A and B are shown apart, each in its own frame.
Chain A
Amino acid sequence: MAESIIVNGLVTSGVYALLAVGFSLIFGVARIVNLAHTAFYMLAAYLIYSLAITVGLNLPLSIVLAIAIVTTVGTISYKFIIARVRQHEATTLIVTIALAIIIQEAILMGFGGDPRSVPKLISGATEIFGVAVLNQQLLTLGVVLLLLLGTWAFLMKTRLGVAIRATAQDREVANLMGMDVPRIEMVTMAISVAFAAIAGALIAPLFVLTPGMWMHPLVMILAVVVLGGLGSIKGSFVAAFILGFAETLVVFLAPSGAFLRTSVALTIMLVVILIRPQGLFGIVFEEER
C-alpha cells in the first residue's frame, strides 16, 4: 500500500511537473494561457499509438517522430492562430479551447472513444528496497528529473535561456536590448509543446488513452501553477509534487476516493492561495495591472 502510493505519487507528480513547467514557461514569456497544452500531450500519446500499432514502426522511432510532429503542430498553431489574437485575452482563451476541442474531436473520429493502450518501452520491473517498481515508471521519473534539471540549466546558463527570462520579466526592455522577442516567444512555445509531447510519450504506456484524457491534467496543471506561483519553475515543481501526492493519497486511502481526488487537490490549492495569494513561490508584480 505505502509503496504503491509512493511510486504512483512520484509518477503522477512528475508528469504534472513536466506539464506545468511547460505551461508556465509560455505563460511567463508570452502571457498566453494555453488551454490546449494538455491536448498536445494527448495528441502525442495517440500519435505514438498510431505510429507504433497502426503503421507498425518500432516504438523508439515512433516516440521521437510523435514528439517532433506535435512540436511542429504546436509551433505552427502558435504562429498562425494564437499569435494573431493574443492581444485580446478572452479571445486567446477561446482560441486555445477551440484548438483543444479540434484535437479531441479529430482523435475521436480517428480512433473512436474506446480506451487504447501502448506497449511499454522497456518491460520488466526492478526491486528497490523490496518493492517491485515497473521499469517504465523508473524511466518516467528519470526523464522527468533530467528534463527539469536540463530546463533549469538552460534557463540559467545559456544565452537563449537568459533571453527567455529577460522577455518574461519585461518584454519591452528585452526588445530594446536587441532581443528578437517574437522569435524568443516562438522558441518558448516550441519548448513548451515539446514538454507536453514528452509527458504524453512518458505516460502513454502507463495509462489508458481516451479522447477525454486532456481535461483532468489541464485542471491539475492550472491548480499546480497557481499553487506554485505563476511563472516560477521551482514553484511548479514543488506544487506538482504536493498535488500529485494529495491526489494519490486520496485515491488510495479515502472511501469513494476516485470521485474526491480532484476536489481534495483543488481544496488544498484554494486554501494555500487564500493565505498566500501569490502562491508558494510567486512574486507579486505590483506595477502590473
Chain B
Amino acid sequence: MSIPAAYAMRIYKLFRGEILVLPGRTVVVLFCLVLLVLPAVTSQPFTLRVLILASIFAIFAASWDLLSGFTGQVNFGHALFFGVAAYMAALLNMNLGLAPWATIPIGALAAVVAGLAIGVPCLRLRGVYLSFATLAFPLILAGVVLAIPSITGGELGVYGIDPLSKSRVVTYYITIPSMMVLGFIMWKIADSKTGLIFHAIREDEVTARASGINTTRYKLLAFCLSGFFAGIAGGLYAHFLMGAGPSTLELALSFQVIIWAVFGGIATIYGPIAGVFILYPLTEFVLTRYLGELQEARMLILAFIVLLVLLFMPQGITTWLRDRTEKVCPRCKLRNVATRKTCRVCMAELD
C-alpha cells in the first residue's frame, strides 16, 4: 500500500472511531460542513451577515461558558471583555492605522488584562456576590466611555474603521473558521486536566484546595482565558461592523450572552455555540422575515420560546438531547450511543 493511501486509511479510521461513533459529534461535523459550503449555495448578503454575527457571538458565548459554566464564577458582566477588545481594536485602527490582524490580538490581550483586573478583586467573593460585583465593571466602564467623548466618541462610538475584508464572502470565511477553531480549542481546554480542575472548583472549591490545587491560580487562569476568547470575538465584531459603540458594554449584552449559553446548555462549550446558532438566526431571520405584522412581537416570542424550552429542559437544549442519545460508560466514563449494550472501548455492560 502506498504511503498516501495508508494515511487516508488512518484518517478514515480515526474519523469512524472518533466522530461517527457518537451522534453528537457527527452532527457537529455535518454542521461545520454545511456552514463551510453555504456561500456556494446562497450569497445573499443578509444571510451571510446573520451567520457572521452568529459565529462572532458563538465565540463570545462559549467564552462565557469556559468561565461561568466550568469554573462556576457566574459572570454577569461578560460584555466587559467584548467591549474592551472592541474599543481597543477600533481605537488602534483609527489612531495608529494598525491592520485588523494586529488590532484583534492586541484587543484580546487588553481583554486578558481586563480579565485579570476583575479576576483579582473577585477572588475574595463567591456565589451571587461575585455575579453582582462582576455586573458592575462594564457599567462603570460604559459610564467613563460616555463621559470622555473626545477619545471614545461618546454615545456614537468609534466608527469608520477598516472592515475585516471588502468582500462579504471573504469575511464569512474569516469568521466562520475562527469560530470553529476557537470553539475546538475551548472544547479541548475544557476536556483537558485544566478543564477537570475548573469542574472541581465549581463543584467544591474547598475540597479542590484541600486536594492540593492552587484554586486562586486556576480561577485567574479561567478569567484570562475567557477574557482572551471573548476579546477575539469583540475585535472581530468591531471590525465587522466597522466600529465600536457603547452598546458593546451594555447590560443587555451581558444578559444576552447568559441567555444564549444557558439555553444551549452550560459546561459543554458546544452548548452555547448551539444556543447562539439557534436563537440568533431565529430572531434576525425567521421572526423578522416571516412575522410581517407581528414584527414588534419578536422579542416577546423569543422570550417565550426561551422560557418554555427551559421549563421542559432546565439544563439547556444540547444537554437534554445529549442525555437522550448518549450514555456514559460506568467503568471508563467514555460516552457511547444510547443504542449500544456494551461500552465501545472497555466492553463493560451499559445500563
B303 contacts A85, CB within 8 Å? Answer: no
A269 contacts B128, CB within 8 Å? Answer: no
Residue in contact with A262 in the complex, picked from B121, B143, B310, CB distance below 8 Å: B143
The residues in A between 103 and 140 inclusive whose CB is less than 8 angstroms from any CB of B are: 105-106, 108-109
B205 located at the interface, meaning its Cβ lies under 8 Å from any Cβ of chain A in the complex: yes
Instruction: Type the 1/0 row for B201-215, where 1 means its CB is closer than 8 Å to any CB of A.
Output: 000111000000000
Instruction: Type the 1/0 row for B227-260, where 1 means its CB is closer than 8 Å to any CB of A.
Output: 0000000000000000000000001100100110
B98 located at the interface, meaning its Cβ lies under 8 Å from any Cβ of chain A in the complex: no
Contacts of B258 in A (CB 8 A): 90, 93-94, 97
B262 contacts A90, CB within 8 Å? Answer: yes
A91 located at the interface, meaning its Cβ lies under 8 Å from any Cβ of chain B in the complex: yes
Residue pairs across A and B with CB atoms within 8 Å: the count is: 129
Q: How far is B146's CA from A33's CA once the two chains are assembled, in angstroms?
A: 30
A274-B121 in contact given A91-B310, A94-B310, A269-B136 (Cβ < 8 Å): yes
A99-B307 in contact given A88-B314, A270-B121 (Cβ < 8 Å): yes
Q: How far is B258's CA from A108's CA once the two chains are assembled, in angstroms?
A: 23
User: Which of A50-58, A173-181, A219-227 sits within the interface?
Assistant: A219-227
Contacts of B262 in A (CB 8 A): 90-91, 93-94
A85 contacts B146, CB within 8 Å? Answer: no
A94 contacts B306, CB within 8 Å? Answer: yes
A109 contacts B296, CB within 8 Å? Answer: yes
In the complex, what's the smallest C-beta–C-beta distance from B114 to chain A, in angstroms?
A: 14
Contacts of A102 in B (CB 8 A): 300, 303-304, 307
Q: How far is B304's CA from A106's CA once the two chains are assembled, in angstroms?
A: 11
Instruction: Type the 1/0 row for A253-289, where 1 means its CB is closer than 8 Å to any CB of B.
Output: 0001001111110110110011001110000000001
B133 located at the interface, meaning its Cβ lies under 8 Å from any Cβ of chain A in the complex: yes
Contacts of A226 in B (CB 8 A): 129, 132-133
A85-B310 in contact given A105-B300, A230-B129 (Cβ < 8 Å): yes
B310 contacts A277, CB within 8 Å? Answer: no
Instruction: Type the 1/0 row for B276-309, where 1 means its CB is closer than 8 Å to any CB of A.
Output: 0000000000000000000011011011101100
Contacts of A260 in B (CB 8 A): 143-144, 147
In the complex, what's the smallest C-beta–C-beta distance from A169 to chain B, in angstroms?
A: 17
Instruction: Type the 1/0 row for A139-155, where 1 means its CB is closer than 8 Å to any CB of B.
Output: 00000000000000000
18 contacts between A and B (CB under 8 A): A84-B314, A85-B311, A87-B314, A94-B262, A98-B304, A101-B303, A105-B297, A105-B299, A219-B251, A222-B132, A225-B132, A226-B129, A230-B129, A256-B146, A263-B140, A274-B124, A277-B129, A289-B204
Contacts from B to A (Cβ < 8 Å): 68-69, 74, 121, 124-125, 128-129, 131-133, 135-136, 139-144, 146-147, 204-206, 251-252, 255, 258-259, 261-263, 266, 296-297, 299-300, 302-304, 306-307, 310-311, 314-316
Apart from the given pairs A109-B297, A225-B132, A267-B136, 10 other A-B contacts in the complex at a CB distance below 8 Å: A91-B314, A91-B315, A93-B74, A105-B296, A223-B132, A256-B147, A263-B140, A263-B141, A270-B133, A270-B140
Contacts from A to B (Cβ < 8 Å): 27, 33, 35, 81, 84-85, 87-91, 93-95, 97-99, 101-102, 105-106, 108-109, 215, 219, 222-223, 225-226, 230, 256, 259-264, 266-267, 269-270, 273-274, 277-279, 289
